[in-house]
Amino acid sequence: MSTVDTSLFTPELVFFDFEATDRFDFFSKMSKILMEKGYVKESWLDAIETREKNYPTGLAFEHISVALPHVDPEHLIKPYIAVIKPKEPVIFEGMAGIGGDIPAELIVNLGLLAHAEGQVAVLQALMGVFMEEETVADIRAQTTPEGMAETMKKYCA
Amino acid sequence: MKNIILACGSGIATSTAVAKKVSDFLDANGLAGQYSITQCAIAEAVNRAESADLLISTTVVPDGLPCPYVNGVPFLTGMGRPAAEQQILEILKK
């Protein structure tokens, strides 16, 4: 397995108590932030709405429900991973129709370039992190952007 | 040789994560060397399924698939994984 590129986790893209009425509101607010910071192109917003509609990314793990919205790399300027803890869970549809509506307590927006293997490895690592009760508890306990980015790096490495 | 297609939205991200888990599982069940896994986008999967023994997907699949289908999400979340593994074994043993 390739080495996980944990440098993609950055405090600059960790958000707590993020307010969003639904996933469309969430995407619209994220798009403004990500464009301002120079991570995505203007086309990102349409792309992620369409992608999430066609291929939903809500996943119900035993100890946490998450969503992993992502788009094809042509809408990115540079790779990133954003970790967002919404104030209230945001409803996503379940991946492959499993679990119906998923109230996501944590949203990990993957801005990955297709052929960088270290980045696909991040996804694999994340799956392992969300499956374990202890790591989920540690992630839930984080209250600062620095702490969250470090915790993610630690468990995904 | 059993031909397994592993599909997701793009054929890159979630299908890669599932492919690793599926191949580990098949190898642990004595099937090493008896299968091949091809990853692709779900849009291409329907054509490829013509010559496949099994399609595993992390997206909803279209109607009228020419081969058996197993949902790949349990390999991501761990929820319902034993049932999905059993389904795969039964299909491949046919």
Residue B22 Cα, gap to closest chain A Cα (Å): 13
Chain B hits for A96, Cβ within 8 Å: 57-60, 71-73
Report CB contact under 8 Å: B14, A123.
yes
For residues A63 and A56, what is the distance between their CA atoms, to the nearest angstrom? 20
Whether A141 has its CB under 8 Å from any CB of chain B: the answer is no
pLDDT at B13: 79
CA distances from A113 to A18, A50, A54, A94, B41 (A): 26, 19, 20, 24, 16
Sequential pLDDT tens for chain A (157 residues): 456 788 899 999 999 999 999 999 999 999 999 999 999 999 999 999 999 999 999 999 999 999 999 998 899 999 999 999 999 999 999 999 887 899 999 999 999 886 666 667 888 899 999 999 999 999 999 999 999 999 999 999 8
Residue A33 Cα, gap to closest chain B Cα (Å): 24
Report CB contact under 8 Å: A96, B73.
yes
Whether A2 has its CB under 8 Å from any CB of chain B: the answer is no
* CATH number of this structure's domain B2-93: 3.40.50.2300
Domain ranges across chain B = 2-93
Whether B68 has its CB under 8 Å from any CB of chain A: the answer is no
Contact indicator for A56, A95 with CB cutoff of 8 Å: yes
What sign does the CA torsion over B81, B84, B88, B89 have?
A: positive
Mapped onto helix, strand or coil, the DSSP state of residue A65 is: strand
pLDDT at B40: 92
Contact indicator for B15, B39 with CB cutoff of 8 Å: yes
- B65-90 pLDDT per residue, tens: 999 999 999 999 999 999 999 999 99
The phi and psi torsions of B15 (rounded to 5 degrees) equal -65, -35
For residues A64 and B11, what is the distance between their CA atoms, to the nearest angstrom? 26
Provide the token pair at B28.
């642990």
pLDDT at A118: 67
List the single residue in A55, A70, A127 with the smallest CB-CB distance to B76. Answer: A127
**Burial of A36 per CB tally in 10 Å (0-12, 13-18, 19+):** exposed
Q: What count of CB pairs under 8 Å joins A to B?
A: 61
Q: Would you tell me the crossing angle of helices A133-141 and A117-131 to the nearest 10 degrees?
A: 100
pLDDT at A1: 43
- B3-37 pLDDT per residue, tens: 999 998 887 778 888 999 999 999 999 999 999 99
DSSP string, A66-106: EE--B--GGGBSS-EEEEEEESSPEEEEBGGGTTSEEEESE
Whether B41 has its CB under 8 Å from any CB of chain A: the answer is no
User: All domains of chain A, ordered by start, with CATH?
Assistant: 6-156 (3.40.930.10)
pLDDT at A115: 62
Report CB contact under 8 Å: B14, A114.
no
pLDDT at B86: 97
pLDDT at A116: 62
pLDDT at A97: 87
List the single residue in A94, A123, A130 with the smallest CB-CB distance to B13. Answer: A123
Whether B9 has its CB under 8 Å from any CB of chain A: the answer is yes
Chain A hits for B8, Cβ within 8 Å: 55
